[in-house]
Amino acid sequence: MTTTWWQRLKAGLKSSTNQVGSKIRNVFVNRKLDASLLDEIEDILIQADMGVSTSSMLRKHLASLKLSPETSSEEVLMLLADKIEERLTPVAHEMTFLKGALNVVLMVGVNGSGKTTTISKLAKQWKNLGYSVELAACDTFRAAAIEQLVIWAERLFIPIYTSKQGHDSSGLAFEAVQKASKSGADILLIDTAGRLHNKQHLMDELAKIQRVIKKVIPKAPHHVILVLDATTGQNAVQQVDIFQKSAQITGLIITKLDGTAKGGVVVGLADKFNLPIYGIGVGESFDDLQPFSAKQFAHALVGLEDI
């Protein structure tokens, strides 16, 4: 039996839903809605990694509604879902591509956040949509990183540009953009090495990759996607802050929401940065990465069964 995305999302977000929806339901047991209960709801939201200001905004919103003390947990969860959806809607974008020209998509992020596997998932999905996709293995830092992408390219029958381990990654990026442009491809997905955001020389290297790409196509890279691992919780907020300084991040993809109770961080990120969220990952298979839907995410997070 094939599972729908809604079922995958709910299953993937289970720990986060327990953190938000189940805990809020629990605090309502034998209680009436009052200021102290609202305080506890705010604490639960903070513990779910939504961040202090977003949690406080949600508490203020509930307080402003002057709800009756008899208001049920389900009504409060619905009101929270609506407000979260309102905050997420402006950032829930599908990626768009130029027609009849090469679209350069650069993937960046800290070590292990999910860049390479996300590239393979996107490459497969975009190929299935009829785009001609090519890859560039610009994580030249580790031989295994090059191999990992080459294997995906072979499986998906997608052309790939590579160089030897230790080769300058911006040199390869330059060449790949030139060749992909000549080949008439629609999309070139560029993998990069994971880098700690506090290592300035690695962040400078990222800036250099972007500069050389612009030498071939001034408007490229058309998308610079920061891949964030949701299990890092509030640390993801710091990563966005720092990557934005060296790279012109145009959007986020948030992975590993299945492995964490910190899914609330997605709401905090949306609220703080207002950057498009192009996709979320709730597992390791190809179908576990999908475009971000504000309504579905909000409902799944607070544990509402239907959308």
Ligand X SMILES: Nc1nc2c(ncn2[C@@H]2O[C@H](COP(=O)(O)OP(=O)(O)OP(=O)(O)O)[C@@H](O)[C@H]2O)c(=O)[nH]1
Of the pair 116, 250, the CB lying nearest Mg ion is at: 116
Site for Mg ion in 86-115 (CB under 5 A): 115
Give the x/- contact pattern for ligand X in 73-112, rule: CB under 6 A: ------------------------------------x-xx
Of the pair 41, 249, the CB lying nearest ligand X is at: 249
* Among the listed residues 113, 163, 169, 293, the single contact to ligand X using CB under 6 A: 113
139 contributes a contact to ligand X by CB under 6 A: yes
> Which of 97, 101, 104, 96 is closest to 213 using CA atoms?
104
Look at the alpha carbons of 277, 280, 286, 287 in this order and tell me if their dihedral is positive or negative. Answer: negative
> Which of 122, 88, 42 is closest to 298 using CA atoms?
88
Count of chain residues binding Mg ion (CB under 5 A)? 2
263 contributes a contact to ligand X by CB under 6 A: no
Of the pair 7, 72, the CB lying nearest ligand X is at: 7
Of the CA atoms within 13 Å of residue 171, those in its CB half-sphere come to 8
116 contributes a contact to Mg ion by CB under 5 A: yes
CB of 284 to ligand X, least distance (A): 4
CB of 269 to ligand X, least distance (A): 16
Of the pair 110, 177, the CB lying nearest Mg ion is at: 110
Of the pair 43, 287, the CB lying nearest ligand X is at: 287
Residue with tokens 């809604």: 6
> Which of 268, 226, 224 is closest to 58 using CA atoms?
268
Evaluate whether 206 touches 192 at the Cβ level (below 8 Å): yes
* Among the listed residues 138, 145, 177, 225, the single contact to ligand X using CB under 6 A: 145
Comparing every residue's Cβ against Mg ion, the nearest one is: 116
Comparing every residue's Cβ against ligand X, the nearest one is: 194
Evaluate whether 42 touches 59 at the Cβ level (below 8 Å): yes
Neighbours of 68 (CB within 10 A): 9
CB of 245 to ligand X, least distance (A): 19
Evaluate whether 16 touches 304 at the Cβ level (below 8 Å): no
* Among the listed residues 54, 55, 103, 116, the single contact to ligand X using CB under 6 A: 116
Decide which of ligand X, Mg ion, none touches 293; Cβ closer than 5 to 8 Å per partner kind.
none
Of the pair 116, 210, the CB lying nearest Mg ion is at: 116
Which residues contact residue 230 at a Cβ distance below 8 angstroms, ignoring those fewer than 6 apart? 236, 254, 255, 256, 257, 259, 260, 262, 263, 265, 266
Angle at 101 between CA 98 and CA 103, to 5 degrees: 65
Residue with tokens 């290592």: 199
For ligand X, the binding residues (CB under 6 A) are 109, 111-117, 139, 145, 194, 255-256, 258-259, 281-284, 288
